Amino acid sequence: MNGIHDLGGTDGFGPINPEPNEPVFHEPWEGRMYAMNIACGALGKWNLDRLRYKREIMNPAEYLTTGYYESWLYRLENLLIENGLVTREELEQRRAELAAEAKNGAA
């Protein structure tokens, strides 16, 4: 597959400036996202190729503006839905609940 995710050697995206002493996770949710991917992977419903494919089919504009662990969330949500483990409606409902909690200062 040759898509936006295969940028190696492509000009025009500017320099890569590694962050000195960069932490593994910049935000607590990133560590949780990593753990959720590992835990859900243990269900045996998909393999590494399927994980990669789900990121590769992201809309190119979205892919370029999405952070690393945000793309992990995108693929995990889609794999969970595709495998009947959760519905899109359940995910949207939980998003709304979390937004309401954050708005009320409970999150």
Q: Read off the pLDDT of residues 25-62 as tens digits, 9 standing for 90 and up.
A: 999 999 999 999 999 999 999 999 998 899 888 888 89
Q: Which residues contact 7 (CB under 8 A, 6 or more apart)?
A: 13
The tokens describing 46, both together, are 């998909």
CA distance 107 to 98: 7
CB-count exposure of residue 79 (10 Å: 0-12, 13-18, 19+): buried
Query: Tell me: the pLDDT tens digits for 64-98?
Result: 899 999 999 999 999 999 999 999 999 999 999 99
For the chain, what are the domain ranges?
28-103
**Are 36 and 30 contacting, i.e. CB atoms less than 8 angstroms apart?**
no
CB-count exposure of residue 100 (10 Å: 0-12, 13-18, 19+): exposed
Whether residue 9 has pLDDT greater than 90:
no
* pLDDT of res. 5: 58
pTM over 0.85: no
* pLDDT of res. 105: 83
Q: Which CATH code fits 28-103?
A: 1.10.472.20
* pLDDT of res. 11: 67
- Residue 4 confidence class, pLDDT cut points 50, 70, 90: low
* pLDDT of res. 6: 55
